[in-house]
Structure 1
Amino acid sequence: MSGMRSYGDPCGVARALDVIGERWAVLVVRDLLLGPKRFNDLLGGLPGMSPNVLSQRLRELTEHGVVRRRDLGPPTRVHLYELTEWGRALEPLLLQLGRWGSQARPIPEGALGADSLLLSIKAAVDPARAADLRGVYELHIDADTYLAEVVDDSVRIRRDTASGRPDATLTTDLDTLRAVCDRRITMASAVDSGTLRLNGEPSATRRLTDLLLAPFTSASQR
């Protein structure tokens, strides 16, 4: 191993912290929840983290079996980092941690990254309301495409495209999506300005809009 410090405590909580308790480790896992990423993409989504620290955290998480590196090989020679099955099991814990942490004050300055924004949306959807939001949606945010599927009582979001025709699609940049989600501008005004495009039947685009506003609707009701 990389010489990480251990609590030396057999309790499951302590053993979990031995694996993901180092600074930045949980945020690296968070940024891989929606799918694999290249090193530079991870680095770009974690402002303030140095390349050396990211390399160290990836090495430690890989040694613990939380993350694995996948080499695409020639001609691309791209290395992707992704969560193992054990690493993906952290998702419900991190979503619950996010719900808990969203009530902490004061709120630090800074903007949510795309993955953090989409995870906050996923965490905020009330399972009892999922049926009202049911559908398959594609989100084109800058150069990335995300697939959001609302089925039964759950929401699944990942970097992917729909296998068939999605019920609705949204195309925009991250700044505009942030502004819409935190209600600095309305979806209608973003569409009118041309910075956001919605495609699909009106009922489907309404459901997609409700899905995107879920965490911010919940916050306004607290």
Structure 2
Amino acid sequence: MSPRRSYDQYCSAARALDAVGDRWTLLIVRELLAGPRRYTDLHADLPGVSTDVLASRLKDMERDGLASRRRLPPPGAAYVYELTPRGRDLLPVLQALGEWGQAELGEPRPTDAVRAHWFALPLLRALEGEGLVEVLLEEGVFHLYVGGAEGGRAGDGGGGSTRARPGPYGDGPAPRDPDARLALDSPTCTALARGELGLADAVRDGRVTVTGDGPLAKALREA
């Protein structure tokens, strides 16, 4: 493993960039915030990254204490990568970058890849309260744990699940009956991600359908 490059500056921002400033590192963090992932899953959801670069970044993240690798119990018996507590502490960094980057989104380009769970970060910023939320998009389904809602415990899921540990969001349907379900189309989700539309306004205008009996669902309908 090659030694980590450093800016050699006594500055906390420079030290942080020593660890996460390389290309792809923060996007790997974005994927692992959804829970433990197999290498092949990471590669599939990071279109454009080479296998060599992905493997190198993961090794760097293990060395720097941002991620770890473990073997799932049978019948899964595969290795997964997951964030350490220090790695999960990068969530507000990604939130801040996402908010700052809203002005850079513009219209989707023909070459832009899209994954449903990439909209989790802007929706987490838009949602208030606490609870489990399932989001249904044309691109797929994902779920969010809003306001520190419990995201599971180590060992949950059984059967070698790669979603065994908590994260602020996850790909696929909610693991239990959610407190709220949001259904919206791609233009609405894109407008929310760009900061052009507020979630409460989208609900009032009928662009987001809210179902569920939890306090969070009721608050959204009454906003």
Match among 133, 143, 153 for residue 137 of structure 1: 133
Aligned partner letter, 1:119: L
What does residue range 180-191 of structure 1 map to in structure 2 within 5 Å? Answer: 180-182=188-190
What does residue range 1-222 of structure 1 map to in structure 2 within 5 Å? Answer: 1-104=1-104, 109=109, 110-125=112-127, 130-131=128-129, 135-139=131-135, 146-150=143-147, 157-159=168-170, 161=174, 165-169=177-181, 177-182=185-190, 200-201=212-213
Q: State the distance in 2 between where 1:17 and 1:203 align.
A: 40
Q: Corresponding residue for 1:216? A: none
* Structure 2 unaligned blocks of 5 or more: 150-166, 192-201
Q: CA deviation at 1:145?
A: 5.0
Q: State the distance in 2 between where 1:210 and 1:50 align.
A: 47
Higher relative contact order (CA 8 A, sep 6+): 2
TM-score normalized with structure 1 length: 0.67
Q: Secondary structure at the match of 2:65?
A: coil
Q: CA deviation at 1:151?
A: 6.8
Q: Secondary structure at the match of 1:73?
A: coil
Q: CA deviation at 1:190?
A: 9.5
TM-score normalized with structure 2 length: 0.67
- Deviation readout 1:97-125 (Å, 9 max, x if unpaired): 11111123666622442232111211344
Q: State the distance in 2 between where 1:42 and 1:124 align.
A: 26
Aligned partner letter, 2:180: A
Whichever structure has more helix as a proportion of its residues is: 1
Aligned partner letter, 1:200: G
Name the CA shift for 1:5/1:30 in 2 (closer, same or farther; >3 Å): same
Aligned partner letter, 1:91: L
Q: State the distance in 2 between where 1:9 and 1:66 align.
A: 21
Contact 1:29 1:87 in 2 (8 A): yes
Q: State the distance in 2 between where 1:66 and 1:208 align.
A: 35
The number of aligned residues is: 191
- Deviation readout 1:162-183 (Å, 9 max, x if unpaired): 55x4333458xxxx75344236
- Deviation readout 1:193-212 (Å, 9 max, x if unpaired): xxxx975349865756899x
Contact 2:43 2:51 in 1 (8 A): yes
Q: State the distance in 2 between where 1:16 and 1:63 align.
A: 14
Q: Secondary structure at the match of 1:82?
A: strand
Report the identity percentage: 35
Q: CA deviation at 1:75?
A: 2.6
Q: State the distance in 2 between where 1:105 and 1:120 align.
A: 12
Aligned partner letter, 1:138: E
Q: Once superposed, what is the RMSD of the aligned Cα atoms?
A: 3.8
Q: Secondary structure at the match of 1:69?
A: strand
Bigger Cα displacement from structure 2, 22-31 vs 135-144: 135-144
